[in-house]
Amino acid sequence: MAAAPAEVLPPGKRTKQDTSCLETPMVFPTMATASWSSLPDDLVRGIADSFLTTNDVDCYVDLRAVCRSWRAATDDPKANASDPRFCPRTWIVLDEVFQSDDRRILLNTDTGRFLRKKIPLLLDYYVAATTNGFFVLADRSPPHAARVFNPLTGHTVRFTVPMPPDVRIAFVGSWRKASPFGLVLLGDLCCKIYTACPGSEGLVSNDCQYGYNIFRKAVVGGAYPHTAGQEFLHAFSKLFNLLRYLHGDVVKVFSTDLPQDANDVRIFLVGSATHIVVVIKTQGTLFVFKMDIELGKLEPLQSISNFAIFIGHHRCLRVDATKFPGIETNCVYYTEHLGSSAHICKYNIKEKKVERISEAPEFVKQDQQFVLVTDRPFTIIHLLCSYTINIPDSQLALQQMS
């Protein structure tokens, strides 16, 4: 005799399972119930080092704040301000579109990570623009002593030297062997270069009328301090030979002034880990070269791998294009200025092809700045192009004029 078929209850009438087992405390392995503070030091250091690998120093600082044992297992960023592990090497400060009195947007150009920080300290000082993630501050009262603030660690390095009023560009880092942590200030109006270290009693001022524009381009493009030594001078001599072939004025080609004619030649220097990328813009097209500092040679560049370059007459930068949606690899992005407006263009290095991002201009000139036609940038390309063609005036100079 066949067995009776098993009874299948409708979904709404299924037998309710016994849930008493859910009331029994769950038993976790010993490791899971252990205190976070008892994690092995090697494991803590491994996690901390992963943050330093991507230059996410703020995350490293947050990790150290968890407990005393984690702080003991890791190095203190404030113990050595010049330690490159704790410097904002891959960060830029987007100081034009999103800033407010005490808030800034920082961007990690290698990972594509944005960081919005509230920094009340900025309200107490005049703030100068930086090119490598630091803030250079000046006391509001005379003699306006300078100091350097690291927004990722919260550490401030005090200088006794005064901040010159015409400074618009600042660089923080090694500029001579005797001072691993130095301050380089550029005065655009007088074409002077000021340098100091924390123990300096005064600024060292260099009047650099002839080479100022070259030095400025190296700083704002991340090519400084690689631009030093006989190898660099040897490679640059070959660049000057190329300029003579292009009929370019050696002084004008590095100028921050916008070209007055389509045939005007402009040169941009962009730093990378191993070499300097030289971009020559003329006659509506670009020429891209690799300047090998160690070998002292200049050669055409066929690829920048997964990176993209943004160039502007005020600043330049290199980003990992794979971390930014909409940015194409192996391309140079720049603005083509036509009177009081500007278009964003893209140059594909491999295909040697130039194309506009949009038929309509993306920027319009207001006073001395190029502002986006829209209220907010549509893409990261708009944001980074705005960063390269605009730079704030010196707050100290504006205050003295008022």
pLDDT, residue 21, reads 42
pLDDT, residue 90, reads 92
Instruction: Kindly tell me the burial class for residue 8, based on how many C-beta atoms sit within 10 Å of its own C-beta (0-12, 13-18, 19 or more).
Output: exposed
pLDDT, residue 176, reads 55
Residue 142's pLDDT band (cuts 50, 70, 90): very high
Q: Shortest CA distance to 168 belongs to which of 214, 127, 215?
A: 127
Task: Say if residue 7's pLDDT is above 80.
Answer: no
Residues 6+ apart with CB under 8 A from 325: 380
pLDDT, residue 168, reads 85
How far is it, in rounded angstroms, from Cα 346 to Cα 146? Answer: 39
Residue 228's pLDDT band (cuts 50, 70, 90): low
Of 229 and 114, more confident: 114
Of 363 and 209, more confident: 363
pLDDT tens-digit readout, 41-92: 999 999 999 999 999 999 999 999 999 999 999 999 998 888 999 999 999 9
Which amino acid does the sequence have at 196? A
Stated pTM of the model: 0.85
Residue 244's pLDDT band (cuts 50, 70, 90): confident
Please, which residues bridge with residue 335 across strands? 344
Average pLDDT, integer, range 140-157: 93
Q: Shortest CA distance to 221 belongs to which of 291, 315, 298?
A: 315
pLDDT, residue 2, reads 44
Of 7 and 372, more confident: 372
* 62 within 8 A of 51, measured Cβ to Cβ: no
pLDDT tens-digit readout, 250-264: 778 888 888 777 678
Q: Which CATH class is domain 83-209?
A: mainly beta
* Average pLDDT across the chain, whole number: 82
Domain boundaries, the chain: 33-75, 83-209
Residues 6+ apart with CB under 8 A from 100: none
Other C-beta atoms within 10 Å of 13: how many? 7
pLDDT tens-digit readout, 326-338: 999 999 999 998 8
* 184 within 8 A of 175, measured Cβ to Cβ: yes
Average pLDDT, integer, range 350-372: 89
How far is it, in rounded angstroms, from Cα 52 to Cα 57? Answer: 6
Q: Shortest CA distance to 334 belongs to which of 344, 325, 342?
A: 344
How far is it, in rounded angstroms, from Cα 226 to Cα 229? Answer: 8
How far is it, in rounded angstroms, from Cα 93 to Cα 83? Answer: 20
* 106 within 8 A of 55, measured Cβ to Cβ: no
pLDDT, residue 324, reads 96
Q: At what angle do helices 57-64 and 41-53 cross, to 10 degrees?
A: 160
Of 232 and 19, more confident: 232
pLDDT, residue 3, reads 46
| Pairing mode of beta strands 167-173, 182-187 | antiparallel
Which amino acid does the sequence have at 338? L
pLDDT tens-digit readout, 149-200: 999 999 999 999 999 988 888 989 876 555 568 899 998 888 899 999 888 8
